[in-house]
Structure 1
Amino acid sequence: MKIGFLIDDHMHRAGGIQVYVRGLYHYFQSKGHEVVIFAGGSQFDNSKLAERVISLGVSIPTYGSGSSTSLPICIESNRRLREILAEEACDVLHVQSLHSPTLSGRLLANSKACHVSTFHIRVDEAWKLQALRLATALGPDLYRHIHGRIAGSQAALETAQAIFGTKDEYTIIASGITIDRFDAAVNLPRLHQYNDDKITLFTLGRLEQRKGVEYLLRAYALLQKDYPNQLRLVIAGDGPLREELQALAAQLRLTDVEWLGYVTDLALPHLMASADIFCAPAIGQESFGYVLIEAMAVGLPVVAAANAGYAGVLANHPGNLAVPPRDPRAMAGAIASFVASPAARKRLRQLNLQAAKGYSWQVIGDQIMEFYKKTMAQTVQ
């Protein structure tokens, strides 16, 4: 089978949808399928990527769903797009949604393949949902060419139905992780800088408002009063709020806080495996929670804010803790319960290691391939 992925963003930016596309790309390739990615970002050098990417449009930076993204400006004619699609001859085109008319919508309109969509996003604000409903009603029907619909989670499904209504059927299939990376890290000795008597709290994410690191810093301030010189907080990730958050940490007189900045995919598993507790304070706009599954894959107990996406994941994995978003005291209390109980951390380690295997690309990729085959069979009929 030949599979084409459509993404309106570009593949040179780190992001959850890029992780999803890359994971499926390499899994399907390993199973003998031919794979290609259609994306924006023609201003970038695709030879530096590990995937075969056809860029159709200059990507313009923008902001959506509480995070940075981009939209392509594609000036290729419809005739040229049809020629490209005919040359590639994909059996399935898999678009990442919400998609726009700037690129993916045009490719779908000119394609004769079977079209599958995965809806990824979560929108919490009622006014944004209303605006998207209105834009969908007044704009071009970008979904009329879709033959099969996947939602990445219950949280994403609720947003899709709030925007498009409940007439269309969705199949919920979670996102996956490259489990081998984390399995290998579990058996490594801890990094020397964390191999001491202090309990290491770890968080990972872009330093922007929706990731809620402010509330984790405030929770850590409460914890340091009860556990002086017993904890450290390691913050991996960078973003526009870094200086503001560092100023808050100084104002709160926090000690033993490490700001690692961007961490490479290669370094991340060993770093996570050297921690004791994973903290995920994101306040909203989360449809799933890759970071939760990655933390589970190295055996860490998870304390997360109960936004819709994170709460949906943790509901399936009892023992990990979800607390109200924007509530430092509740987060501190949940973290303290793990700090105080090495036995609870040890017990949850084994449960999480086993549970994470259900999110391997082998499991998720096989589910998506079955969905492709089912949708293709229905489309032919």
Structure 2
Amino acid sequence: MSYVENDGTNQRPDPLHGRKLNVGIISPYSFETPGGVQFHIRDFAEELMKRGHKVEVLAPGRRTRDMPLWVTTNDSSFSIPYNGSVARLSYFGFVGPRARRWVKQGHFDIVHLHEPECPSLSHKPLTMIHHPPFVGTFHAAFDPYPLVLRFFQGYLRQYLSPLSAGICVSEAAKQVVDHYGPRDIEYDVIPNGINCKFFATAQPKAAWLGTPERPTIGFLGRMGEARKGFSVFARAANDIIKRYPSARFLCAGTGEQDALKILGKVDPSGMLSKRFEFLGRISDKDKARFYKSLDVYVAPQTGGESFGIVLVEAMAASCAVVSSDLDAFAAVAQDGDDAALFANGDGHDCARQIISLLDNPERREHLRQAGFERSKRYDWPVVADRVLEVYARVLS
């Protein structure tokens, strides 16, 4: 399936009428460790710079060798459990004055705060008396709604009142923000973006390709985090090898030792673990090749997901996707039209959907094509246009 360049016929009119902006973006999470919000900020910044805008990013933590020069760090961060994961935030001591000074000295036309409700850097500028317009993007989704947020609702609504506009990456994220966000601003639901061409034009890796008798089924994520659903994937694999004894399960991401413990509980004989191959943390280039090489990509996450970026990436690589029926995933999959959905947490149902696709190449091809078309609405040029419309509305 080939990638077709946007010929400009479906582009939105430039909401800024040619004006070039100086944009400051603040990340709540350190760039030292990879994560969805950090990737979102990085890729959006690069898209703006392609268009001639100036962008600077402030993030917690320390600089690493591969960090872009336009990212400034404050040399301070701490780890804390957050939404089923571990986040590296920055909040105490000199962090607030340094963040506010960065905003003041940047002379920005607009400052974009990610997760401003989170106790970290993007929370700090909201106390400034004189400041450029603030736009906040809200990424988090919770089910159930956390007690701590319920307790701080009134405080957050007042603290976030300097925001001029809000962006939620999904309807699931907006349902959370509706509890504590300021009620006098407009919220736009604008999804995360991806570079569709990057995934669409990737070449599969011969060593990872499967065959009809030996299909390759993939998982990508932190295997040690329960919410990423590796245990669901393992239970599904135990059913799949009864139908496809030579199936390969290719796993990218951290937590191999955790994964082996889970596999040992699912199958104490150790036979199941022999069907698994662990790639560790892979580069962006290899991630695209990973999706491109699979017969089926599986997203078994059980909660805490506000979007479905892994689904969209796999779709852009023309890979058939099977995912849990989380609200955020179902929205990307259009309730099963563009990806096969299974009951959240149900490994047997997950296996049933995967086997159905492996048994039916025509249905698998239909999902590949449908998913590929669906991914185009998340291409960065499309998503960035929508964010710039919010900027234009705020600046006007």
Q: Check if 1:268 corresponds to 2:283.
A: no
Equivalent position of 2:135 in the other structure: 116
Alignment equivalent of 2:170, drawn from 141, 149, 153: 153
Equivalent position of 1:12 in the other structure: 32
Equivalent position of 2:94 in the other structure: 76
Q: Could you state the TM-score of these two structures normalised by the residue count of structure 1?
A: 0.90
Identify if the C-alpha distance between structure 1 residues 159 and 219 changes in structure 2 by more than 3 Å, giving closer, same or farther.
same
1:108-160 deviation line (CA, Å, top 9, x unaligned): 3225111101110011124x1x3212123256833011000111001101111
Q: Could you state the TM-score of these two structures normalised by the residue count of structure 2?
A: 0.87
Matched residue SS, 2:227 = helix
Equivalent pairs, count: 370
Structure 2, gaps ≥5 residues long: 1-20
Equivalent position of 1:99 in the other structure: 117
1:69-107 deviation line (CA, Å, top 9, x unaligned): 122145338766554323211111111115345432222
Query: Which stretch of the first structure deviates more once superposed, 18-27 or 249-258?
Result: 249-258
Structure 2 Cα separation of the partners of residues 304 and 165 of structure 1:
33
Equivalent position of 1:233 in the other structure: 249
Q: Which amino acid aligns with 2:207?
A: H
| Root mean square deviation, CA, Å | 2.2
CA contact (8 A) 1:317 1:355 kept: no
Equivalent position of 1:45 in the other structure: 63
Matched residue SS, 2:178 = helix
Equivalent position of 1:251 in the other structure: 268
Q: Which amino acid aligns with 2:220?
A: L
Equivalent position of 1:222 in the other structure: 239
Structure 2 Cα separation of the partners of residues 305 and 93 of structure 1:
35
Q: Which amino acid aligns with 2:219?
A: T
Matched residue SS, 1:90 = coil
Q: Check if 1:3 corresponds to 2:23.
A: yes
Query: Which stretch of the first structure deviates more once superposed, 18-27 or 45-54?
Result: 45-54
Task: Give runs of aligned pairs for residues 55-74 of structure 1, distance below 5 A.
Answer: 55-56=73-74, 58-74=76-92
| 1:250 shift after superposition | 4.9
Alignment equivalent of 1:191, drawn from 206, 224, 228: 206
| 1:169 shift after superposition | 3.3
Structure 1 Cα separation of the partners of residues 180 and 265 of structure 2:
37
Identify if the C-alpha distance between structure 1 residues 16 and 163 changes in structure 2 by more than 3 Å, giving closer, same or farther.
same
Alignment equivalent of 1:310, drawn from 326, 329, 347: 329
CA contact (8 A) 1:59 1:72 kept: yes
| 1:48 shift after superposition | 3.0
